[in-house]
Structure 1
Amino acid sequence: MNFHQYYPIDVVNGPGTRCTLFVAGCVHQCPGCYNKSTWRIDSGKPFTVLQEDQIIADLQDTRIRRQGLSLSGGDPLHPQNLGAIEQLLGRVRAECAGKDVWIWTGYQLAELSGAQQRVIALADVLVDGKFVQDLRDPALIWRGSSNQVIHYLRSPVAQQA
């Protein structure tokens, strides 16, 4: 898997202070997408074990408490990203108790493959649906167009300070 950007401290992509990873690869290529540079699966830079270790360390950092991890892109549920995302989220679940995971995808929940469902089983929240320029609404929180749906997959994780 490749990624474009990692923010160890982010307050925009989900609730609270978070770590946010923008991965490469998106088959949806929505007109009006704000992140077109992430569409090609071979763009960005390789996601390494060192990068994964850094995310885990940042989530465990007690000096700056993070509520969780946000995954966007590109598309974290792109078929070629699933192995690396599943490994990362497995580590978050095992090593970062109490942290929530948010995933943004252009796929819809009802159309996910078995492999994609295994990944979202490790997530707390899925924001699904392609960005639709005609339904764009800047007043929406955590989504760009009104067709996109926020699915709360688990009971809410306690807010982290």
Structure 2
Amino acid sequence: MKYATIKPTDVANGPGVRVSLFVSGCTHYCEGCFNSEAWDFQYGEEFTEETIETILNYLNYDYISGLTLLGGEPMHPNNQKSLIPLVERVKERYPQKSVWCYTGYDFERDITGDMLLRLPETSRLLACFDVMVDGKFQMENKDLKLRFKGSSNQRIIKVPESLLTGNIVMWD
């Protein structure tokens, strides 16, 4: 897997100050995407053990609230396996910090439904996520006043509660 960039301090993609990893590779091709250069799976730097250590070190400050995964598309099957060591180590080392994931996929249909959940990696990732922002960015629904999402069709979902109840539980 490759990644486009790492932001050691990000206040736009989840609550508080966060570390954000922008992975490379996306097949959604949303019109108006703010990060279209990351559609290319070969864009950016190689994601290595050293990259994971760098992110873990960035998280090692009290003022950092957690990790956010964006892209590109973190939930694309080509990216999932590489992200597991990162998110599992984040949850082990920093259990008080939240992990957010932005995806263009639909939570019920694509992630917990038939498409992606067939991958063993998907379940392992979901076990580490606190919140998922799902749905493709839609230019016609773009709203700059929305908190932590770009278009009104997207949802901010509490992952553990949604998996436990079998119903979507929204984050406030």
- Which residue is 2:20 aligned to? 20
- Which residue is 1:128 aligned to? 134
Please, what TM-score do these two structures have when normalized by structure 1?
0.90
- Out of 90, 93, 115, the position equivalent to 2:91 is 93
- Which residue is 1:83 aligned to? 81
- Which residue is 1:146 aligned to? 152
Q: Please list the CA deviations of residues 86-111 of structure 1 after superposition, one character each: whole Å capped at 9, or x if unmatched.
A: 11101111111201000000001011
Q: Distance in 2 between matches of 1:60 and 1:47?
A: 20
Q: Please list the CA deviations of residues 62-116 of structure 1 after superposition, one character each: whole Å capped at 9, or x if unmatched.
A: 4xx2110011010111111101111110111111120100000000101111233
The one-letter amino acid paired with 2:158 is Y
Aligned identity (percent) is 39
Instruction: Give the match's secondary structure for 1:60.
Output: coil
Q: Distance in 2 between matches of 1:84 and 1:96?
A: 19
After superposition, the CA RMSD in angstroms is 1.2
Please, what TM-score do these two structures have when normalized by structure 2?
0.85
Q: Please list the CA deviations of residues 108-140 of structure 1 after superposition, one character each: whole Å capped at 9, or x if unmatched.
A: 101111233431221000000001111111111
**Number of residue pairs matched?**
153
Instruction: Give the match's secondary structure for 1:67.
Output: strand
> What 5-or-longer segments of structure 2 have no aligned partner?
162-172
Instruction: Give the match's secondary structure for 2:64.
Output: coil
The one-letter amino acid paired with 2:133 is V
Q: Distance in 2 between matches of 1:130 and 1:138?
A: 16
In the alignment, structure 1 residue 33 sits paired with structure 2 residue 39: no
1:33 offset after TM fit, Å? 0.7
Q: Distance in 2 between matches of 1:136 and 1:117?
A: 30
* Deviant stretches of 4+, over 2 Å: 115-118
- Which residue is 1:48 aligned to? 48
- Which residue is 1:3 aligned to? 3
Q: Point out which structure has higher relative CO (alpha carbons under 8 A, 6+ apart).
A: 1
The one-letter amino acid paired with 1:125 is V
> What 5-or-longer segments of structure 1 have no aligned partner?
156-161
The one-letter amino acid paired with 1:76 is P
Q: Distance in 1 between matches of 2:142 and 2:34?
A: 12
1:19 offset after TM fit, Å? 0.4
Confirm or deny: 8 A CA contact 2:127 2:160 kept in the other structure.
Answer: no
